[in-house]
């Protein structure tokens, strides 16, 4: 599997994680926050929810698309046994560790904030995403290795031909529409631990792999027609906002979701497909930040919400606290303690001793900062 380095996919993953943080912080300022286990501000910012409803239909599916793309890269040098072992270490281990040691932490903060007797409550929480990814890998691995084995066969040629037309990506949306019609979700964007969320993610993961597998045709199409897809998404969002407030008919939301994503892929391919030291760092940090962000967010909420300051300033302060706190924990704890790295999906690489000046004073191990470390991370 010979593929080019795709920096735009790396950027989109990092951006998607950033949007996830902002979305979760915005929930704190909604009247219904406590009903889904979030600490709630006494000062509502309902105006924040309008842009969030636009993001909500595509932010999680985008991560699943990118995850499927990442699996394509991870399969380059691995047979199915190696891939399964690697995914177990990089996804299943952090998932189990997170349930035991991470998600109970933000529930302790929730209980303490509302004077609820403290109790240990291990649960999936926001880590449900990892469980879904691991299941998708198990289910789709035989199909993907079959496609890899026949990478020069008719399937790829047909797929490439379909994706060379602007209607090709839109044709994919029909599968997402079928899921909505069959499952009939009460809320389209209720992805966590629902059948709609599972099946929607399954399709996004599957087609994410296929988009990269098909070669450059898909990327050339979304690049050329990015304004078309974005325009369709804006029209569908306007219809949803004006006629249905936030929850339109399921098939319309499925189409809107994918149109946003295809537009994002097109703009990302045009503007973000370039290397960057910042990108390299964010790529390493994305997985650990995703795992710990809810605990840091709740800690920020408990400290900032009691302050007598305007709600918008509270929102900005909690956002700053969460971002800075996550990266401080990543940089000075997770990244520097070797025993913690595997628990947060990072890989420890042992280096052979070298007589070169560059390696003379280095210890016998280091965190791999290279290409495979990023390509093999979870959300890839």
- Can you list the positions of beta strands (E) in the chain? 348-350, 365-367
The Cα–Cα gap between 25 and 33 comes to 10
Q: Tell me the Cα Rg of the chain.
A: 21
pLDDT in tens, the chain (380 residues): 455 678 899 899 999 999 999 999 999 999 899 988 999 999 888 888 888 888 989 999 999 999 999 999 999 889 999 999 999 999 999 999 999 999 999 999 999 999 999 999 899 999 999 999 999 999 999 999 999 998 888 999 999 999 999 999 999 999 999 999 999 998 888 898 899 999 999 999 999 999 999 999 999 999 999 999 999 999 999 999 889 878 888 899 999 999 999 999 999 999 999 888 998 899 889 999 999 999 999 999 999 999 999 999 999 999 999 999 999 999 999 999 999 999 999 987 655 544 444 444 333 333 333 334 434 444 44
CB 267 within 8 A of CB 226: yes
From the list 290, 283, 250, the residue with the least C-alpha distance to 258 is 250
Neighbours of 352 (CB within 10 A): 6
- 27 close to 45: Cβ distance less than 8 angstroms: no
pTM, entire model: 0.89
CA–CA distance, 60 with 204 (Å, rounded to integer): 10
Element (H, E) at 372: helix 371-375
What's the pLDDT score for residue 250? Answer: 86
Nearest CA among 275, 149, 128, 262 for reference residue 207 = 262
Long-range contacts of the stretch 271-276 (C-beta < 8 A, 24+): 271/8, 272/7, 272/8, 272/11, 272/12, 273/6, 273/7, 273/8, 274/7, 275/5, 275/7, 276/7
């Amino acid at each position: 599997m010979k593929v080019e380095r795709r920096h735009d996919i790396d950027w989109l993953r990092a951006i998607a994680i950033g949007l996830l943080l902002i979305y979760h912080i915005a929930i704190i300022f909604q009247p219904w926050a406590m009903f889904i286990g979030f600490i709630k501000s006494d000062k509502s910012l309902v105006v924040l929810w309008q842009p969030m409803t636009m993001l909500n239909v595509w932010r999680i599916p985008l991560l699943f698309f990118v995850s499927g793309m990442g699996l394509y890269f991870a399969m380059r040098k691995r047979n199915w046994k190696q891939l399964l072992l690697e995914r177990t270490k990089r996804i299943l281990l952090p998932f189990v560790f997170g349930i035991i040691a991470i998600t109970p932490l933000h529930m302790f903060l929730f209980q303490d904030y509302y004077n609820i007797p403290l109790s240990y409550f291990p649960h999936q929480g926001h880590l449900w995403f990892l469980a879904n990814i691991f299941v998708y890998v198990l289910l789709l691995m035989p199909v993907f290795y079959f496609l890899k084995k026949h990478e020069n066969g008719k399937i790829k040629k047909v797929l490439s031909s379909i994706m060379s037309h602007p209607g090709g990506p839109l044709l994919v949306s029909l599968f997402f529409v079928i899921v909505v019609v069959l499952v009939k979700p009460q809320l389209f964007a209720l992805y966590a631990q629902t059948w709609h969320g599972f099946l929607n993610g399954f399709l996004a993961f599957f087609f994410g792999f296929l988009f990269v597998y098909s070669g450059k045709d898909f990327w050339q199409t979304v690049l050329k027609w990015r304004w078309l897809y974005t325009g369709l998404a804006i029209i569908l969002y306007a219809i949803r906002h004006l006629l249905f407030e936030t929850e339109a008919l399921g098939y319309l939301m499925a189409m809107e979701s994918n149109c946003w994503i295809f537009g994002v892929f097109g703009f990302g391919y045009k503007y973000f497909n370039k290397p960057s030291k910042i990108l390299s760092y964010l790529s390493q940090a994305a997985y650990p930040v995703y795992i710990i962000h809810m605990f840091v967010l709740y800690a920020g909420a408990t400290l900032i919400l009691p302050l007598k300051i305007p709600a918008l300033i509270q929102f900005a302060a909690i956002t700053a606290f969460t971002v800075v706190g996550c990266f401080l924990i990543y940089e000075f704890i997770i990244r520097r303690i070797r025993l913690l790295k595997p628990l947060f999906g990072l890989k420890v690489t042992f280096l052979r001793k070298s007589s070169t000046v560059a390696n003379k004073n280095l210890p016998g191990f280091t965190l791999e900062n290279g290409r495979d470390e990023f390509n093999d991370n979870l959300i890839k």
